[in-house]
Structure 1
Amino acid sequence: MSPKRGDDVPRPPIGTEWRLRFATSEAAKGWSDLCAEAPGNTRRCFEALRAAPQSTAEPDRQHRLHGRLGVRTLGGDAFPQWEYEVTAGGRVRYLVDEPRRTVHLVYASTRHPKDTDT
């Protein structure tokens, strides 16, 4: 997505921070919804992903997905898929591209994703 007039200006990563990118239009829309519904929690998610997208310090909040959801392909490359719990229902899923120090947001929503329901 190219920025256009009226868009927020993204904060550039500095030092050891990771770059955050939207991998899908749906993730961009969902992120906007999360920002409106839970700005404080969404900001904490942003900061956590910028600082340490593979952190296991708070496994109830931030963790790598397992099984069929553990890896996802983007642009022909496979990446580990992680999830961050923003609110009780709100989630952000992202792919970690270590060589490029980039986090690709593939899902963001105020509602829990259906693919984990069994």
Structure 2
Amino acid sequence: MTPKRGDEVAPPPVAGEWCLRFATNEAAKGWGELAAEAPGNTRRCYEALRGDPQAQVDPDRQHRLRGRLAVRTLGGACYPQWEYEVTSGGRVRYLVDEARRTVWLVAAGTRHPKDTE
């Protein structure tokens, strides 16, 4: 999405950080809802994804999805799909584009996704 007057300014990645981008309008909306509901946890998610989107230090909070959700296509390319647990129900799903060092947020929301139940 193109920024407009009144939008927040996202800091650019520095010193090896990953660039975070919204892949869908729904992800952008859901991110805003998460930030309003749990700002501290959403900030920790942001920092984790900026630093190492494929970290496996805390697999209960940040992990690659499995089965039919393990890979997702964006712009004709396939990427591994990961999930970050922001709150007990809130999740962020993202794709890792290693070639561009970009994390594509494809879904975000305050409720647990139904497709993993």
Aligned to 1:59: 59
Aligned to 1:3: 3
* Residues 16-43 of structure 1, C-alpha deviations (whole Å, 9 max, x = no match): 1000000000000000000000000000
Q: CA deviation at 1:62?
A: 0.1
* Residues 49-91 of structure 1, C-alpha deviations (whole Å, 9 max, x = no match): 0000000000000000000000000000000000000000000
Distance 1:94 1:5 in 2: 27
The TM-score with structure 1 as length reference comes to: 0.99
Q: CA deviation at 1:97?
A: 0.1
Distance 1:56 1:19 in 2: 19
What is the percent sequence identity of the aligned residues? 74
Q: Which runs of 4+ in 1 moved over 3 A?
A: none
Q: CA deviation at 1:95?
A: 0.0
Give the secondary structure class of the aligned counterpart of 1:11: coil
Aligned to 2:80: 80
Aligned to 1:108: 108
Give the secondary structure class of the aligned counterpart of 1:3: coil
Could you list the runs of 5+ residues in structure 2 that have no partner in the other structure? Answer: none
* Residues 80-116 of structure 1, C-alpha deviations (whole Å, 9 max, x = no match): 0000000000000000000000000000000001111
Aligned to 2:15: 15
Q: CA deviation at 1:10?
A: 0.7
The TM-score with structure 2 as length reference comes to: 0.99
Distance 1:106 1:113 in 2: 12
Coordinate RMSD, CA, aligned: 0.3
Distance 1:68 1:60 in 2: 19
